[in-house]
Amino acid sequence: MDLSLIAAERQNFRYISMHACDSAVKSGIAIILVVLYLIAPADVFAGPPFRTDDPEPVEYRHGEVYLFSTGTRDSGGISGVGPAIEFNYGIFPDTQFHIITPVAFNSPQGSASHFGYGDTEVGIKYRFVHQTAVIPDIGTFPLIEVPSGDAHKGLGNGKAQYFLPVWLQKDFGKWTTYGGGGYWINPGAGNKNWWFSGILLQYSFTETFYLGGEIFHQTSDTVDGKNNTNFNLGGSFPLTKKVQLLFTAGSGLQHASTNYYSYYVALYYAF
């Protein structure tokens, strides 16, 4: 299992068996709901729940937390992460620190399922151009996938991976579009470096209720793999004034055997 799918399910997005983690997810959601109910609400930012990312960092001295699960069913089985925690914090103006600490799962077709800590994702998002009436926001969000998961069980890559992207965003009233892409450095036996690109269109009914869709493409990340194009539909729905539910679901458009279906679901809180 390769957490490139997060950087995308912020980026990519290979993302427990649902029965194996069901009780843990329910317990985690219950705890987070109780905690978040006691804290004040905040605005939502772009990025999750979609694979395509955006250039907008968390505001300086503010933060956001996601409790989430994401996964993909392909011809080889189902794999992903969950429960997992994503934490973002504005450490400087236009600069955000990012970390994901996941529990990973891997259920290969016809083989034993595995469940344990996965690869840790760390990154810095930096916006270097602010949008005007004509010019979009432009930023970068380099990521490192730290090989903390057990590669022999399919819970990690076994080697550090690096993502070097550029993202753009433009707002038009209640409509927002963002997209871009980048290059993944993906070492390891049988692996190859690969490209990710995506574009999204989103409509905001309120600050906490929006719906959107994306199309994204990635080249093969293994020597015997296939290029693939996929789509997701999803958005955000306010559960209370203090908690939002983020969600997407999608499938493959090109070489669909690499993505029969995929999902992302999260509880979101910003401070």
Supply 61's token pair.
């001295």
Spell out the residues 6+ positions from residue 101 whose beta carbon is closer than 8 angstroms to its own. Answer: 84, 85, 87, 120
Please report, rounded to a whole number, the percentage of residues in the chain having pLDDT higher than 90: 80
Sign of CA dihedral 9, 14, 19, 24: negative
Q: What is the mean pLDDT of residues 131-160?
A: 96
pLDDT band at residue 75 under the 50/70/90 scheme: very high
pLDDT band at residue 11 under the 50/70/90 scheme: very low
pLDDT exceeds cutoff 70 at 37: no
Give the C-alpha separation, 61 to 47, whole Å: 19
Q: What confidence score (pLDDT) does residue 84 get?
A: 98
Q: Which CATH architecture has domain 3-270?
A: Beta Barrel (2.40)
Q: What confidence score (pLDDT) does residue 47 get?
A: 75
pLDDT exceeds cutoff 70 at 42: no
The better pLDDT of the pair 19, 135 is held by 135
pLDDT exceeds cutoff 70 at 36: no
Q: What is the mean pLDDT of residues 164-178?
A: 98
Q: What is the mean pLDDT of the chain?
A: 87
pLDDT exceeds cutoff 90 at 120: yes
Q: How far is CA 245 from CA 51, 213, 266, in A?
A: 16, 16, 6
Q: What is the mean pLDDT of residues 69-83?
A: 96
Q: What is the mean pLDDT of residues 146-154?
A: 95
> Reduced to 3 DSSP states, what percent helix, strand and coil does the chain have, rounded to the nearest 5?
10, 55, 35
Q: What confidence score (pLDDT) does residue 189 get?
A: 87
Q: What is the mean pLDDT of residues 140-168?
A: 97
The full length of the chain comes to 271
| DSSP state letter for 27 | H
Beta bridge partners of 250: 232, 262
pLDDT exceeds cutoff 80 at 192: yes
